[in-house]
Structure 1
Amino acid sequence: MNLFLLAGEPSGDRLGAALMDGLHTIAKPRIAGIGGPQMIARGLDSLFPMDRLSVMGLAEVLPRLPELFALRDQAVEAVLDGKPDALITIDSPDFGLRVAAKVRAADPSIRTIHYVAPSVWAWRPGRAAKMARSIDHILALLPFEPPYMEAAGMTCDFVGHPVVAAPRATLAQAEAFRSAHGERLALVLPGSRGGEIARLASIFGEALRQLPDGVRVVVPTLPHLKDRLSEATRNWPGKPLVVAEEDDRRAAFAAADAALAASGTVSLELAANGVPMVIAYDMAWLSRLLLARMLQVDTVTLVNLVSETRAVPEFLGAACKPGPVGEAFSRLLTVPSLRETQREALDLTMDRLGRGGEAPGLRAARSVLAHL
């Protein structure tokens, strides 16, 4: 079997590496493509460095459009020359789906598979029909996504979310973290992008004025954001501790009593560690207006959607104000029954995402083989 895998950013590289592990376990295919360090470590000879595709924001993309078009055409040529049994594009739809469309137009015999379904259940449902013009099969991370993809004309398998297989801190590591930093710990996560941090840090800081006595604030982040978060949280209550090393971050998640977090996939990382949470997010006024018109669901928190509950309090857009956010977070930290109710939804979420079953990468590999 001959496959071409294409990942364009770190999240796709992680998914691609797990898929490669699964494929090598059961099929021993020949794999070419584009990927990052994790896929390369598993034997991929990347056509070009993946980080050449890692561009975000209109202002950053526009000057690089000629280069990105050239990279797209180089990828298409490599796929057509190799004539694989399947092209598997992983996340990064802006690049991967354009490659798939050109491959489909030039050689319809090459099967096309995309790993990570678009969030058509949340907004822009027309994306699924557009995707179906060039994609045959979808590997979905969320259990409720296959019907949306199938309705658009593609086959789709739920293969599990990678969060269920992510490493977690041990009980001993969590206890050591509490001994070092405080018995009552509150995680606060104001996002991972510059714009998010700029908007949310002041709102979260004001919300923490209602923090119960004796609670220490811990801010897990990535190494390249540590200085920025340290400055942004300098005047917060709760003696904020910014942690960026991977082991410290995992231990903080395992040790926390509750969390205040920006909306995003971090809610699933919190759920995997059994950490009850309040979700809050704000955006520019125009984005608020557009999102309000396009949103198809009454909650964007994945825990609420997967568990089919509304257990996690959510404050979005105009509702993202320090007073209500702080009150909800304070209540979560001081009312044990609220935390227990949430933990039931967190457990249900993890079970529905595949906890206790086969690793998502292996399930994805089985889906690929079954489709082919």
Structure 2
Amino acid sequence: MRAFLIAGEPSGDRLGAALIAGLRELDPALEVRGIGGEGMAAQGLESLFPMSELSLMGIWEILPKYRALKRRIAQTAQAVIDAAPDVLVTIDSPDFGLRVARIVRAAAPQIRTVHYVAPSVWAWRSGRAAKMAQVIDHVLAILPFEPPLMQAAGMSCDFVGHPVVAEPLASPAEAAAFRARHGIAGDAPLVLCLPGSRRGEVERLGPRFDEALMRLRDRVPEMRVVLPTVPGVADMVRGMVRRWPTAPVVVQGEADKRAAFAAADLALAASGTVSLELAANGVPMVIGYDMAPVSRALIGMLLKTDTVTLVNLVSETRVVPEFLGRRCQPGPMANALLRLLDDADARAEQMAAMDLTMQRLGRGGEPPGLRAARSVMGAVTARR
């Protein structure tokens, strides 16, 4: 089988890497092209151009680079048409991927189109599903309540599980070694700071998270902060923490990140997939997020749910505190973090919700990457 995959950010790269591995398990002769990051490159993908060019979010953030993105959309669509794959898989990042799919559908309608990660129509802009159905044949859903919503819009859809349930976790020995390596006492509260994987997120959330943690440190002076980061924003993160009176430990790379998550007692994190990574490791969390004012205002008017934190949604609870938009302020976030450190019942509620979330996302079943691969191959076979 010949496949063309497009991922636009680190979380999509991880999905794409697992999907490529699953497709190769089912079809060793797989030919794959597309756009991806380090994970997909490790599975043999040579990216058409650096994925970091697509790691944008929000209307205000995209506008300055709109012309460059339009050129990349046209370039990518032509690359798909020239490659004539059996299937085009767009992974998350719908602002880019679905525009490519629309051009491909018009020029080469025989190419089967699959979108990995259903649009969050349960949260906002429910019309997106019907619009997507104009260019997408099949959807791979990572949340269990999404298939009926996609099917109602006219696309076939399978729940394939969330890849987070299959990601390796560091052992207690690796967690202890991480603390020892960085001079963190075994009984010192270790707090993760996770301001996002996009440059705009780090720029906007970093100073607020910094101030929240400074306030927490005033009350818990023995605490230590660890800041896992990714290549696209590592330079910004290191520049930011140089100004901190007590610099946190900055780590980069999956092994150190896993060890940090396993060693952590608490996390302050941006909204997104990272909340599920924390849940997989049993790390209680506080979520904060904000966008540029124009994006915030527009999305605020369209939002249909009272929470955007995936642990809250999948577990059908509201135990993870979240501070969104104008509420994303250092003082309230510091207070919520302190409560999690001091209140055993609040931690226990989160632990129960996180465990339920992992069960519902497929923990203990077939790896989601392989389930996704079976679904893609089934969609291709159905077209034939």
In 2, distance between residues paired with 1:94 and 1:361? 23
**Alpha-carbon distance, 1:292 to partner:** 1.7
1:312-363 CA deviation, whole Å, 9 max, x = no partner?
A: 0111112222222111110101112211110111111111111111111110
The secondary structure found in structure 2 opposite 1:355 is: coil
Summarize the alignment of residues 44-63 of structure 1 with structure 2, pairs less than 5 Å apart.
Answer: 44=45, 48-49=48-49, 51=51, 54=54, 56=56, 57-59=61-63, 61-63=65-67
2:251 paired with 1:247: no
The secondary structure found in structure 1 opposite 2:376 is: helix
In 2, distance between residues paired with 1:73 and 1:163? 30
The secondary structure found in structure 1 opposite 2:114 is: strand
The secondary structure found in structure 1 opposite 2:353 is: helix
Mean Cα deviation higher: 207-216 or 336-345: 207-216
The secondary structure found in structure 2 opposite 1:280 is: strand
**Alpha-carbon distance, 1:243 to partner:** 2.3
1:22-78 CA deviation, whole Å, 9 max, x = no partner?
A: 2222344543431445445545566x3454963644355334256325413422422
Amino acid across the alignment from 2:5:
L
* Mapped contact 1:3–1:88 kept (Cα < 8 A): no
Summarize the alignment of residues 176-325 of structure 1 with structure 2, pairs less than 5 Å apart.
Answer: 176-179=177-180, 180-182=183-185, 183=187, 184-208=189-213, 209-210=215-216, 211-223=219-231, 225-234=233-242, 236=244, 240-325=248-333
1:64-121 CA deviation, whole Å, 9 max, x = no partner?
A: 2563254134224225xx3x44333333323332332233334444322111211222
The secondary structure found in structure 1 opposite 2:115 is: strand
Amino acid across the alignment from 2:344:
P
1:142-197 CA deviation, whole Å, 9 max, x = no partner?
A: 11211211111111011111211222211101112234313221112222333323
In 2, distance between residues paired with 1:335 and 1:349? 22
The secondary structure found in structure 1 opposite 2:334 is: helix
Q: Structure 1 residue aligned with 2:358, among 345, 350, 360?
A: 350
Amino acid across the alignment from 2:199:
G
- Count of aligned pairs between the two proteins: 367
In 2, distance between residues paired with 1:257 and 1:141? 27
Which residue in the other structure is 2:24 paired with? Answer: 24
Mean Cα deviation higher: 90-99 or 126-135: 90-99
Q: Structure 2 residue aligned with 1:339, among 319, 335, 347?
A: 347
Q: Structure 1 pair 332/12, CA: closer, same or farther in 2 (3 Å)?
A: closer
Mean Cα deviation higher: 181-190 or 349-358: 181-190
* Mapped contact 2:225–2:248 kept (Cα < 8 A): yes
Mean Cα deviation higher: 269-278 or 229-238: 229-238
The secondary structure found in structure 2 opposite 1:260 is: strand
Summarize the alignment of residues 142-161 of structure 1 with structure 2, pairs less than 5 Å apart.
Answer: 142-161=143-162
In 2, distance between residues paired with 1:187 and 1:39? 26
Amino acid across the alignment from 1:4:
A
Which residue in the other structure is 1:93 paired with? Answer: 94
Percent of aligned positions that are identical: 59
Q: Structure 1 pair 297/243, CA: closer, same or farther in 2 (3 Å)?
A: same
Q: Structure 1 pair 332/294, CA: closer, same or farther in 2 (3 Å)?
A: same
* Mapped contact 2:133–2:155 kept (Cα < 8 A): yes
The secondary structure found in structure 2 opposite 1:88 is: strand
* Mapped contact 2:55–2:198 kept (Cα < 8 A): no
In 2, distance between residues paired with 1:157 and 1:191? 29
**Alpha-carbon distance, 1:232 to partner:** 2.6
The secondary structure found in structure 2 opposite 1:327 is: helix
The secondary structure found in structure 2 opposite 1:181 is: coil
The secondary structure found in structure 1 opposite 2:170 is: coil
The secondary structure found in structure 2 opposite 1:135 is: coil
Which residue in the other structure is 2:72 paired with? Answer: 68
TM-score by length of 1: 0.88
In 2, distance between residues paired with 1:226 and 1:77? 35
The secondary structure found in structure 1 opposite 2:283 is: coil
Mean Cα deviation higher: 59-68 or 297-306: 59-68
Amino acid across the alignment from 1:333:
L
Which residue in the other structure is 2:5 paired with? Answer: 6
The secondary structure found in structure 1 opposite 2:124 is: coil
**Alpha-carbon distance, 1:15 to partner:** 2.4
In 1, distance between residues paired with 2:209 and 2:80? 45
Structure 1 unaligned regions, length at least 5: none
**Alpha-carbon distance, 1:242 to partner:** 2.2
**Alpha-carbon distance, 1:256 to partner:** 0.8
Q: Structure 1 pair 252/134, CA: closer, same or farther in 2 (3 Å)?
A: same
Q: Structure 1 pair 140/322, CA: closer, same or farther in 2 (3 Å)?
A: same
In 1, distance between residues paired with 2:52 and 2:288? 33
* Mapped contact 2:23–2:30 kept (Cα < 8 A): no
Structure 2 unaligned regions, length at least 5: none
**Alpha-carbon distance, 1:299 to partner:** 0.3
TM-score by length of 2: 0.86
**Alpha-carbon distance, 1:305 to partner:** 0.6
